[in-house]
Structure 1
């Protein structure tokens, strides 16, 4: 295992700063232009990718979040008419809840997704060559094990 030298620490810090800076910029733009914070967009994206509905527990896992913070966000998203929750008891979990996209949630996601893709292109993707992308995929593959 390589030792944690100053170069690796610096690389880690730069990665964190760059990532959080890009995310803050995307969040600000989505919120100002679409009225949709990035965390809401991420939740809508995960639900959409699961076919339009999923158990809240699975959504927590997909977003890497704890149930309490996600529950508060889903409360606000439900108040805005973007998602709907319903109890769906399971044999292994009597308290299971499923969250689904509403027509309004699908519509705002479609609009926000156009801007999101443009922002990711401008803040990240346009700066990468095919070689850079291959290298990042290799490195992130190692880190994701």
Structure 2
């Protein structure tokens, strides 16, 4: 849906700017509230969520991809979380190039403690501003954008 000229209609530019402001501010306040209440950053919480979704373990590279960060940033993040006992690294027995990131009991406990705080924040700063129709429309608008951006990265 690209256009050949360099102009963007004002209502589209307003939507873009509102999206950027909302995304930045909401993520900032969610991170701040989560850290104040639980000591976990939003980035650490996201790692724990991804590990739980994956059944407790995931390949390090796949985790970085899901977190939308570089492999080196993922390694540093996992190192810091490992030093606090929330995750462990396990070498893959069948392929020594692969490292698994494993959720520990301490990590699962931290996730369980942080989830109600995070969900309350998401409600207060995001979902309470949307009725069901708006939530559906937003999801329908953003999903193809995310897919398109992901496809562009793969090329």
Shorter-chain TM band: over 0.9
Match of 1:25 in 2: 29
In 2, Cα distance between equivalents of 1:134 and 1:22: 19
In 2, Cα distance between equivalents of 1:15 and 1:143: 13
Given the alignment, which residue of 97, 100, 104 partners 1:98? Answer: 100
Given the alignment, which residue of 98, 109, 112 partners 1:110? Answer: 112
In 2, Cα distance between equivalents of 1:86 and 1:2: 45
Match of 2:68 in 1: 64
In 2, Cα distance between equivalents of 1:137 and 1:102: 33
- Structure 2 SS opposite 1:27: helix
- Structure 1 SS opposite 2:74: helix
Given the alignment, which residue of 128, 131, 140 partners 2:130? Answer: 128
TM-score normalised to structure 1 length? 0.92
In 1, Cα distance between equivalents of 2:105 and 2:144: 39
TM-score normalised to structure 2 length? 0.87
1:89 Cα deviation from its structure 2 partner: 5.1
Cα root mean square deviation, aligned? 1.4
Contact 1:89 1:97 in 2 (8 A): no
Number of equivalent positions: 143
Match of 2:153 in 1: none
In 1, Cα distance between equivalents of 2:2 and 2:108: 46
